[in-house]
Structure 1
Amino acid sequence: MTDTVNEPTSTGNLDRYGSAELPWSRARDVLVADTPTADLTFFVATTRPDGRPHSAGVGAVWVDDALYFTSGPGTRKARNLAANPACSVSVRLRGVDLVLEGDAHRVTDATTLDRLVAVYRTGGWPAEVDGDALTAPYSAPSAGPAPWHLYRLTLRRAVGVATAEPHGATRWDFTG
């Protein structure tokens, strides 16, 4: 894994009150600083095969300029992602509400799994690599039973709405 900076290719000011566009660095820097140690709740939204939406909490971390999350292979969200990787992930950060959109794909390479297990451990989750998945003595009930698959979101678009000064609302587009 490389430590690259995924910069937007275009932006759009969504603010209706005259505030300037928010820089992508505002949201990204909070993700870097607060995951995995802050108490953040991430929700992934997927699409069921019949087109109905599904949303569930996930254990997510921002590492090397990408969002990663876990899910058991038998969960609705994992089955939805296997059929259609398009999804969004929402989180309330310090000073900005953020929605990340893109495609989530399973990660199975040992180097990335080892790196992410180390990050999850710094946040207090005692995860371990087991083959091409993660295990631990516990996880959130919404993750399903172990082992848990690791997913990486390929970022296509993000929308941020500032909840603290300076206010504003911005759309960032990425090439992914």
Structure 2
Amino acid sequence: MSEPRETKNLDRYGDAELPWSRAEAALSTPAGPEITHFLGTCRPDGTPHAAGVGAQWRAGHFYFTSNPTTRKARDLAVNPRCTISARLDGIDLVLEGTAVRVTDAETLEGVAADYRDGGWPCQVEGDALTAPFSAPSAGPPPWQVYRFTARTVVGVATREPYGATRWTF
């Protein structure tokens, strides 16, 4: 992800703005089972939907999977705008952006390899992933892969140095 084009200090207690490098370092640390990423989408009728996803940060984007029949995949097919939020090491982040389906073999192979490194034995089959199991919220196989691109990120530090900052890309 490139450097932010705008940074705004949101802290009301006198703390300095947080550097983007702090958020990026937290995003780049491989997520273990104690970290859950939450995807927020919008149903066609305008009501919100949230689901935990096994997201991974690769080259400045989040990647996650879903069966095309799940609520989140149907929502993204109509409206790609969404959020991903997580409590990471030392910082809570909410990212606003868009998610689009990825089908190119090189990206799918890289995402699958990263998931395998994390313990999920998936493989590329056609333009999606398959495995003997997945999270219940992902629906049955095959699982399509989505790339999330952030436009705005809000971070709140949960340990010193404290602060709250919004980065716009």
TM-score (norm 1): 0.93
**Is residue 51 of structure 2 the alignment partner of residue 62 of structure 1?**
no
Once residues 7 and 38 of structure 1 are traced to their aligned partners in structure 2, the CA distance between those partners, rounded to angstroms, is: 29
Is 1:17 paired with 2:13?
yes
Please give the alpha-carbon distance, in whole angstroms, between the structure 1 residues aligned to 2:86 and 2:122: 22
- Aligned residue number for residue 137 of structure 1: 132
Measure how far apart 1:115 and its partner are.
Answer: 0.6
Written as runs of structure 1 = structure 2, the 5 A alignment for 1:1-176 is: 5-35=1-31, 37=32, 39-174=34-169
What SS does structure 2 have at the residue aligned with 1:45? strand
**Separation (CA, whole Å) in 2 of partners of 1:167 and 1:44:** 25
Q: Give, in whole Å, the separation in 2 of the partners of 1:25 and 1:73.
A: 35
SS in 1 for 2:13: coil
Cα distance in 2 for partners of 1:18, 1:149 equals 44
Aligned residue type for 1:173: T
Runs (5+) with no aligned partner, structure 1 = none
> Could you say what the CA RMSD is over the residues aligned between the two structures, in angstroms?
0.9
Partners of 1:111 and 1:12 lie apart in 2 by 36
Code of the aligned partner of 2:77: A
Output the amino acid matched with 1:149: Q
The secondary structure found in structure 2 opposite 1:78 is helix
Match of 2:152, SS state, is: strand
Q: Which amino acid aligns with 2:11?
A: D
Equivalent position SS for 1:99? strand
Q: What is the CA–CA distance in structure 1 between the aligned matches of 2:69 and 2:147, rounded to whole Å?
A: 18
Between the two proteins, what is the percent identity of the paired residues? 63
TM-score, scaled to structure 2: 0.97
Aligned to 1:155, the other structure's residue is in SS state strand
Runs of 4 or more, structure 1, over 6 Å off, are none
- 2: CA distance between counterparts of 1:141 and 1:6? 34
- AA aligned opposite 1:47: C
Structure 2 segments unaligned to the other structure (5+ residues): none
Shift of 1:38: 5.4
Equivalenced residue count is 169
String of CA shifts for 1:112-143, please: whole Å, max 9, x gaps.
00011111111101110010001111110000
User: 1:33, CA displacement in angstroms?
Assistant: 1.8
d(CA) in 2 for partners of 1:148 and 1:18?
45
- Distance of 2:89 and 2:33 partners within structure 1: 10
The Cα shift of 1:65 comes to: 1.5
